[in-house]
Structure formats: structure tokens, C-alpha cells
Amino acid sequence: MERVTDKKYWMDGYLKSNLNTAVYNMDFDWDFVFIISGDGMVRVGKSVLAQQIGYYIAYKKGTPFSMENICFTGEQLINTAHHLPKNSVLIYDEAREGLDAKKTMESMTKSLLDFFAECGMYNDFIIVILPDFFELNKNIAISRSDALINVFRTSKDRQLSNGDNILEYERGHFEFYNRKEKRELYIKGKKLFCSYDIGKRNFYGEFKNYWVVNKEEYLKKKIAHIQRVRAKKDDKFLIVLKALCKDNSQRKVAEILSEQGLPISQTRINQLLNQIREKTIEK
């Protein structure tokens, strides 16, 4: 590992070499898309590594890198690209926690395709963060992206002071797939229940838990985004609930929702209807 940028954080040498290839070619009308997945898991360190990569590219290209470069929606991604300088880095973090995976991936795919159509001429470096590489649309997973970095956790045996034997989990590990190996992994791994073990990685690397942006500021921005999405989702549910209760008893509505995998009591339905009435009065 080597110390890089003015912040002097550690970076894997093979990863640095691949990033330098992108840095060089961005001057010749190329853009790059790197996908960072989490081995199908969350909270394994994807965002930390993405930001380290993003800062390194921006440092080499002489473009700014801050919280502004991190986007949580397709609209943010396009708007940010329009006012940042050419050859900038953009991180698209899908922030899926608690959301519908299929709908989120459909939305992300559309957002990325819209972005490429509208902002491809800026020759930017795009980093897409998501838990599972196999959830991506094949056009982006295979054709439109240049590399996959799959971040995963490891474990080791440890005996605690009280004599208990446990497995201790550790972050800070990744495997790199270039365009060719990424394609093979997607095609073969998808058939084997989304297995990352089937592919042939180009190299394995490690990274340190170093935040190039303010961690608290990042988490605050991410949580605010998730809350906005959930609030919008809750509003849609209330609209549906109101429509159902217009023509059905609360007992019948509870049965309908339970059949759809949304168990809810009549008491809770009554509370939500009161909530709708209060909102109507406030307006």
C-alpha cells in the first residue's frame, strides 16, 4: 500500500495503477464508471472506499471534491454534473435502506441512462455504490461500466477474556474485476444465485477506514435523504388507505392489506385516518 494525495491516506498499489489509467484517458474524451458493491451486504465500507477513490481522481485531475460530489438521487447527479467542472468525480449512492430493492434498481438504472445521455460529454468519473452488483441492469453492469470493486468482510477466530470463542468481523477488503472479468462474473454468478465465488478477480486489495469527507456530515445528508423518501412513501400509503376506506369497512381494509403482506390492525387504521384528517385541516 502507498500513501496518496495531500491527505496521505493509504491506497492499494494495483488499485492506484488502475485509477491512473482512468486519469490519463479522461483527457482524451473518455469517461469512466466504476461500480462498488458490498458482496450483497450493507455496512461493509463501500462509501469509505468510494470516497477515497473519488478524492484521489479529483486530486489528480485538479477538480474539487466535497460533499457536493456525493449524490443520492438521479436528479442530484445530473444537476451536480452540470455545474461542476469537466473531469469531475460524481458518487451515486443509492441509499436503499428500508426501500424496495427492485423499484430502487429500476429507478437507478433510468437515472444512470438519463445521466449518460445528458452529461456524457463532460468526461466525468462516476462511482456507483450499491449492496449487490447482480441487482444492476445488465446494460450498466456489463456494457456501460468499466470495473467492479466488490467490498466484503472477513472473519477470524478469537477467544474472549471470559473464554468464549467467537468470530470477529473485519472491514477493509475488496476484490477488483476489470471489464472482461466483470462480465464473466455477472453472467455466471447470476445463474448461481448471485454468487461472487464463481468469478475470477484481477486482484485482491485492502483499504483503511479513513474518511476523506466529514463522516457526520455525510451521514446527516444520507439520513435526510432516506427520511424524505420514506415520507413520500408514507404519503402514498395514506392516499391508498383513504381510497380503500371510502368503499370498505376498516375491518375489510385490514384483511385486504394483510393479504398483500401488509398486516395492520383496525386500531392503527383508525389512527392513520385521523392523521389524514388532521393534515387536511392544517391545509
pLDDT score for 261: 64
* Number of helices followed by number of strands (H, E) in the chain: 9, 9
For all residues of the chain together, what is the average pLDDT? 86
Residue 67 near residue 30, CB atoms below 8 Å: no
The answer on pLDDT for 231 being more than 70 is no
Considering the domain 2-213 in this protein, what is its CATH number? 3.40.50.300
Q: What percentage of the chain reaches a pLDDT higher than 90? A: 53
**Range with the poorest average pLDDT among 40-44, 191-195, 255-259:** 255-259
| CB distance 185 to 198 below 8 Å | yes
Identify the CA nearest to 172 among candidates 27, 9, 4, 6: 9
- What number is the average pLDDT over the span 234-248? 71
pLDDT of residue 233: 60
17-21, 44-48, 220-224, 273-277: range with highest mean pLDDT: 17-21
Lowest mean pLDDT among 1-10, 57-66, 249-258: 249-258
pLDDT exceeds 80 at position 177: yes
Domain positions in the chain are: 2-213, 228-282
Low-confidence winner among 92-106, 158-172, 242-256 (lowest mean pLDDT): 92-106
65 burial (CB, 10 Å; 0-12 / 13-18 / 19+) is: buried
Angular region, 5: left φ>0, alpha ψ -120 to 50, beta rest: left
Mean pLDDT of 261-283: 70
Q: Give the pLDDT confidence score for residue 102 in this predicted structure.
A: 65
pLDDT of residue 237 exceeding 70: no
Rounded CA separation 8/17 (Å): 17
pLDDT tens string 32-50? 999 999 888 878 889 999 9
The pLDDT, as a whole number, for residue 97 is: 45
Distance CA 109, CA 131 (A): 15
Q: pLDDT-derived band of residue 9, with 50, 70 and 90 as boundaries?
A: very high
Give this prediction's pTM: 0.79
**Is the pLDDT at 3 greater than 90, yes or no?**
yes
Residue-level pLDDT at 162: 92
Strands (E), the chain: 2-4, 9-11, 32-37, 70-71, 89-93, 125-129, 147-159, 165-177, 203-206
Q: Which residue has the higher pLDDT, 242 or 168?
A: 168
Residue 180 has pLDDT above 60, yes or no: yes
pLDDT digits (tens, 9 = 90+) for 55-103: 999 999 999 999 999 998 888 899 999 999 999 999 998 645 444 556 6
